[in-house]
Structure 1
Amino acid sequence: MNEADTYEILSDTFLTVLISAAPIMAIALVVGLIIAFFQALTQVQEMTLTFVPKIVAIFVGLLVFSPFIYATVKRLSDQTYDLIVNGAF
């Protein structure tokens, strides 16, 4: 195993983390923007109004995107285990 292999594994790992987290982060961003827009329109500055819907949306997003996140992480682990089996480590 040389430096290029290590760089490739680390690059794949970072990319997998970003791809796995992207749907949940996008949901949190969209819900946060919608709530901020609603608060700006109505001038309601309730702190719980920002947290509760965002948490609910994140949990629903986790339920919906769990198979995608699992498949993405499983692909990375399969690649890493294949490298171990083939003697790359």
Structure 2
Amino acid sequence: MDDATLYDMMRQGLWAAIIASLPILTVALATGLAIGLVQALTSIQELTLTFVPKLAAIAGTFWIAMEFMGAAFLDLWRDVLVPLIAQGG
């Protein structure tokens, strides 16, 4: 396997990881901003108030987006890795 093929494979793998993690990161950011705003407006500085809702939102998003995330990695496997393995590197 030459360097260009390796770098292209790594680029596509990183892109698939970014695409797969985007729903969870977006929900975590939005939830954190909303909770931070509520804490700033009410002057409540409780650590569990930020952790528990964010964890619940991330778990729910992961449950909903599992099919999308699996499809992203399956496409990477089918379109990039299997042809490289089949041609011998």
Q: TM-score with structure 1 length normalisation?
A: 0.94
Q: Does 1:46 align with 2:46?
A: yes
- Alpha-carbon separation, structure 1, partners of 2:47 and 2:7: 43
- Letter of the 1:69 partner, please give it: M
- Alpha-carbon separation, structure 2, partners of 1:66 and 1:86: 31
1:26 corresponding residue in structure 2: 26
- Letter of the 2:39 partner, please give it: Q
Q: Secondary structure at 2:45's aligned position in 1?
A: coil
2:58 corresponding residue in structure 1: 58
- Alpha-carbon separation, structure 2, partners of 1:5 and 1:63: 34
- Root mean square deviation, CA, Å: 0.8
Deviations 1:30-71, CA, capped at 9 Å, x for gaps: 000000000000111111000000000000000110011000
Mind listing any 5+ residue stretches in structure 1 that lack a counterpart?
Answer: none
**Equivalent pairs: percent with the same residue?**
36
Q: TM-score with structure 2 length normalisation?
A: 0.94
- Alpha-carbon separation, structure 1, partners of 2:70 and 2:83: 18
Moved >6 Å (runs of 4+): none
2:86 corresponding residue in structure 1: 85
Q: Secondary structure at 1:28's aligned position in 2?
A: helix
1:3: how far off? 1.1
Q: Secondary structure at 1:30's aligned position in 2?
A: helix
